[in-house]
Every structure is written in C-alpha cells, then in structure tokens.
A = this chain, B = another copy of it.
C-alpha cells in the first residue's frame, strides 16, 4: 500500500512532536507525558508506522534474531545419519524418484506469466546433508523448542546449515556482520569445529551436547548415563535377564555414555557381562546389529537399543526371525522420536526432552547476548522413561 516507507519523522510530524519523543514512546522509555504518549500512539496507529529494523539495529547493535545452525563436521557430508548421538538419526526422507520428472508449468493463475524460474541447485552434497538433517524427526523438535522460546520474545531464528569449512565461515561471517546476535549450534558430529571457531571469534553461542574437545562454551546436554540406567532397570523390572545392547557409534560420547549407564546398572544388579553390537544410529544398522547379537546369543530376552531408529530396525528383524516383541524379546529405545510411535509395537523408550533443551539453549544464549551471563554454562537434562508396548 504505502510507497516510500514512513519514518519516525513522519510520525513525529503527524503527532506534532519530535523524532526523539516518538522513539521514546516506541521503546517504552519512561519520562514521556502520558498525554503525549497517547497522541503519539494514535499517530503511529493512524499512519501504520513500522520502525526500520536496519536503522535501529545500526545503533543498538542488536538484531533480535539468532542463528540456528545445524552443523556437520568435515568437508564432506558423511554417511552416518546421526551425529553426536543426541539425536535420533533420520530416515532418508526423500527417496529420489526417477530424475527428469515433472516440471513447472502454468495452470492459468490470476494473471500468471509462466516462465519457470531457475529451480534451485539440487543434488549438491551440501543439499544432501541438509535434506538428511531436515528429514530427521529430531530436527522438528529442535526447531519447535527454539521457536517456542523465541517467539514470545519476538525474536526469530535464522536457519543455517554448516557442514563444510566454507559454510562454517559463512556462519561466523554472518554473526560478525551483526546479522544475528548469537548462534545455537546443533552438531551432527562429535568433531565439529564450529563451536571452537565461535569461541575463538568471541561470538555468543550455545551448543546442543558437550563439544567433543573441551571448549569454553555454554551447552545443554542430556544425562545419557542416566538414560541407560533407566532402560536397564525397566528391563530388569520386567523380569528380563538375558540382556544385550545395540549401541550407538562408540566414538561418540553419547553412544558410549548410554551404554556405560546401562552396563553400570546391570553390574549393580549382578550381571557382569553384557553382549553388545555397535550400530550407526540408522534403522538398517540396528537390524544388522541385532542379527549379530542373535547369532551369538539366541537366548536373549531383552535389548537396550541406543536410539529409536535402530530400535525400529531391531523390531523388524526380530519379527522376521519369528520372535515377538515384547513377549520373546523386550526392546527399549532411546530418544522418543516420532518413530517411537509409528513403530510396531510402539516403543518403550528413553525420552530426551529435546524441546525443553533447545528452549533452554535459547534462554542461555539470550543471557549471553544481553551480558546477563558471562561464564560458559552447562545445563544437564534428565531423561525420562516412556513406557509403551515394546518392553
């Protein structure tokens, strides 16, 4: 509607006051005569004024936006779906149908011309990484927590993907330009160099999960060990004694700790040895690992699987082998991702409060940005057992 955008000046004229006064009203600064305040408010209303963000940002040095970075590790996207073990890995989502399929064409819109715009550069490895990450149910929970926290504070997240060195530089550049006030980093690999880069640049950031190398940076994390313990105790309480575990990648802290917690609880209960098979957080790797376990221990009656995706694979394999879940073998997953519900039977699983964790990340970040908090801080969240049908 409006052509040249309105400025403070316009509103000031309309209200018969100075720019400064209008600015004060808008920013809720005290020391404004209530009468004048109302006049100004009316003028703003009438004109439909919206303050220019860039101009404001230029002086306040705040953008009211933060970067939400999904970060990989190396130059290449890797084959392992899930990273630091804190998330559930992802279904491959988009299975590509035959390429060269359908294309854009006009359908007689309200006045549409129909030349197709360039359709985006698909198929780059970068996009493959992005596609994989975004297809992961874990991602939705991350976003949900962040948005839930930010929105009431009228801040908004900018989504960034950073799995190459170049992309990481793009992220730091973005922040140094003052395009965002800080970064929330969700790494998909233990060796992600981004947290250290951010720290080195002195940029406010908070990580999901403790960085592999000790880094003076704030983070939230899950008490993974505790999760393993929960699983062990539940299985034990169900009367299972032939226990085993399909673990996550053991080079990941989360993979190791989930197992450690499981083992420790069993040891306490008198079970010294626990057969394990390592998986890669994907459904297939879960099935494979289960097959190996079964080969060596045909008598087992309970399995702790380090994430839900693998647990799904485990359930499928067990069914194939003619073992019913939970009657013959009880299965406990980890994450409580959406597959926990779609899985047959629905999974008993160790829930990670992802939304609460990412909301907390945003909270921490804001404190760092505002200067309310200066020391790197870590918040540890407790997992929770969700009992469904698989154990």
Contacts and interface: CB of A to CB of B under 8 A. Distances in A.
B176 A5 contact: yes
B121 A355 contact: no
A215 B53 contact: no
Given A52-B177, A54-B58, A376-B109, A135 B141 contact: yes
B97 A53 contact: no
Interface stretch (A126-134, A237-245, A263-271, A273-281): A126-134
A112 interface: yes
State which size class the interface on A falls in: 35 or more
Contact of A338 (B5, B135, B167): B135
A143 interface: yes
A336 to B, nearest CB: 7
Interface stretch (A35-43, A74-82, A295-303, A381-389): A381-389
A326 interface: no
Given A148-B122, A148-B127, A360-B104, A93 B140 contact: yes
Contact of A356 (B120, B375, B386): B120
Contacts of A177: 50-53
A359 interface: yes
Given A110-B215, A119-B356, A375-B112, A148 B135 contact: no
B176 A50 contact: yes
Contacts of A168: none
A94 B144 CA distance: 10
B360 A119 contact: yes
A219 B57 contact: no
Contact of A143 (B126, B159, B338): B159
A381 B377 CA distance: 48
A126 B151 contact: yes
Contacts of A215: 110
Interface stretch (A17-25, A286-294, A339-347): A339-347
Contacts of A33: none
Given A200-B1, A379-B116, A170 B154 contact: yes
Contacts of A342: 91, 312, 339, 342
A117 B363 contact: yes
A345 to B, nearest CB: 12
Contact of A135 (B97, B137, B158, B380): B137
A176 B360 CA distance: 30
A375 B109 CA distance: 10
A160 interface: yes
A359 B93 contact: no
Contacts of A104: 220, 360, 379-381
A251 interface: no
A380 B117 contact: no
A91 B144 contact: no
A173 interface: yes
A130 B147 contact: yes
Interface string A147-180: 1110110101111110000010010011011110
A118 B178 CA distance: 25
Given A114-B377, A375-B111, A144 B131 contact: yes
A135 B118 CA distance: 29
Interface in A357-384: 359-360, 362-364, 366-367, 373, 375-384
18 contacts: A65-B179, A91-B341, A97-B353, A98-B384, A102-B381, A104-B380, A106-B380, A108-B378, A109-B377, A112-B375, A114-B377, A116-B360, A120-B356, A130-B143, A130-B144, A131-B140, A134-B147, A316-B344
